[in-house]
């Protein structure tokens, strides 16, 4: 990542450690690991202090099951919602089937939530715990993972924001982002950067070599190419902040005192859906994403989440059951 007087030029590698040949430890994978660790630590603390109706050992088991739910649900959700072609895409290299090629990217947050819903329901049934209570726990502990996932999207240079208005392109604000890969898109006029050819070896392909040099940290290339790139909204950081600290903070405030099972999960759907609907206005639609009128599919799903969450909050709050939890005080099981 390179900071200039105007925008931030994205030059980050997706690898934390690269072994070569496209193999290595990726930031995307580390983000999932950090999210699961944060969820485990939070749930285990809540279990040990009697803030949830499960033991520490049960908390360990649930997070393990939740990992499976997130990974399977997130991948299947991405394929079904955004890239159905992966269902029949095969190759001669591991893992042979496009559906299983998680290392190449493609996880859906909505699909991951569906996976957690299934995992929570299964776990509740096996351990004779109220399913709605497990959904409440899941809603609270998943917030750090949502934040880390968006930050990993930023490192990967994916799910980018919308382009800033034309009036802001001449002198874009410092918080805007520019991507060297734009040079390789068919809509980019390569002729306007022909004068930069001397900055890369003549025997290397053009303009790919220019992009490679930028991602290798060549400051001369980065400085020269920056004025010709489009400035975008930092949607990854916007959604990392809303899906992480803001969402988590709201849920903590709501659950300061005991709540009836399902209320916290309802608030999660309501607040997350509302925040996602707002922040999607600053995110560029994925290539080939389904449009429903003027809305993208994520926008439509977010509206559905708001409706379901609102209904859950009202219905669950009116149920004749005892409140559970409460972050401010320990409770007896």
The DSSP code sequence of 302-319 is HHHHHHHHHHHHHHHHHS
Dist. CA 149–CA 155, nearest whole Å = 10
C-alpha pair distances (Å), 44 with each of 55, 69, 123: 8, 19, 16
Q: Name the DSSP letter for residue 330.
A: -
Element (DSSP H or E) covering residue 169: helix 166-169
Element (DSSP H or E) covering residue 209: helix 208-215
- The rounded mean pLDDT for the chain is 88
**Residue 333 clears pLDDT 50, i.e. is over it:** no
For the chain, what are the domain ranges? Answer: 2-9+162-228, 15-159+234-318
**Residue 328 clears pLDDT 60, i.e. is over it:** yes
DSSP, collapsed to helix, strand or coil, labels residue 148 as helix
Is the CB of residue 111 less than 8 Å from the CB of residue 73?
yes
Residue with tokens 């002198």: 171
C-alpha pair distances (Å), 299 with each of 184, 186, 232, 252, 272: 29, 27, 19, 25, 12
Dist. CA 7–CA 177, nearest whole Å = 6
DSSP, collapsed to helix, strand or coil, labels residue 159 as coil
pTM value is 0.88
Dist. CA 287–CA 161, nearest whole Å = 13
Q: Sort 133 into a burial class: Cβ within 10 Å, 0-12 / 13-18 / 19+.
A: buried
Tokens at residue 272, please?
């997350």
pLDDT digits 0-9 by tens, 253-311? 999 999 999 999 999 999 999 999 999 999 988 766 667 777 888 888 899 999 999 99
DSSP, collapsed to helix, strand or coil, labels residue 215 as helix
Mean pLDDT of 76-84: 80
Per-residue pLDDT at 332: 44
Pick the closest to residue 264 from 70, 93, 133, 107 (CA basis).
133
CB atoms within 10 A of CB 141: 27
pLDDT band at 160 (very low <50, low <70, confident <90, very high): very high
Dist. CA 177–CA 226, nearest whole Å = 10
Dist. CA 180–CA 218, nearest whole Å = 12
R_g of the chain computed on alpha carbons: 22
C-alpha pair distances (Å), 203 with each of 198, 199, 212, 221: 11, 12, 14, 17
pLDDT digits 0-9 by tens, 18-28? 887 777 888 88
Tokens at residue 75, please?
């991948």
């Amino acid at each position: 990542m390179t900071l200039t007087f105007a925008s931030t030029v994205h030059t980050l590698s997706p690898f934390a450690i690269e072994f070569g040949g496209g193999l290595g430890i990726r930031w995307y994978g580390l983000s999932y690991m950090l999210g699961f660790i944060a969820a485990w630590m939070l749930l285990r603390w809540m279990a040990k202090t009697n803030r949830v109706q499960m033991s520490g050992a049960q908390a360990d088991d649930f997070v393990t099951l939740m990992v499976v739910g997130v990974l399977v649900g997130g991948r299947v959700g991405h394929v079904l919602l955004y890239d159905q072609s992966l269902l029949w895409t095969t190759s001669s290299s591991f893992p042979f089937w496009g559906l299983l090629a998680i290392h190449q990217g493609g996880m859906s947050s909505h699909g991951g939530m569906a996976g957690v819903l299934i995992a929570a329901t299964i776990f509740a049934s096996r351990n004779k715990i109220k399913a709605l209570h497990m959904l409440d726990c899941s809603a609270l502990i998943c917030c750090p993972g949502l934040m880390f996932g968006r930050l990993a999207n930023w490192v990967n240079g994916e799910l980018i924001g919308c382009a800033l208005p034309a009036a802001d392109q001449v002198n874009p604000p410092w918080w805007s982002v520019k991507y060297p890969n734009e040079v390789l898109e068919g809509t980019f006029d390569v002729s306007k950067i022909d004068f930069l050819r001397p900055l890369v070896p003549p025997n290397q392909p053009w303009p790919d070599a220019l992009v490679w040099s930028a991602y290798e940290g060549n400051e001369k290339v980065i400085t020269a190419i920056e004025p010709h790139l489009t400035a975008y909204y930092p949607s990854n950081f916007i959604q990392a902040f809303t899906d992480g600290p803001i969402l988590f903070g709201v849920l903590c405030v709501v659950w300061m005192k005991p709540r009836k099972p399902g209320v916290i999960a309802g608030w999660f759907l309501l607040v997350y859906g509302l925040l996602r609907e707002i922040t999607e206005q600053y995110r560029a639609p994925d290539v080939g994403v389904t449009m429903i009128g003027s809305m993208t599919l994520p926008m439509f799903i977010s509206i559905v989440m708001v409706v379901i969450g609102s209904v859950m909050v009202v219905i669950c709050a009116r149920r004749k059951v005892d409140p559970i939890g409460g972050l401010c005080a320990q409770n007896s099981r």
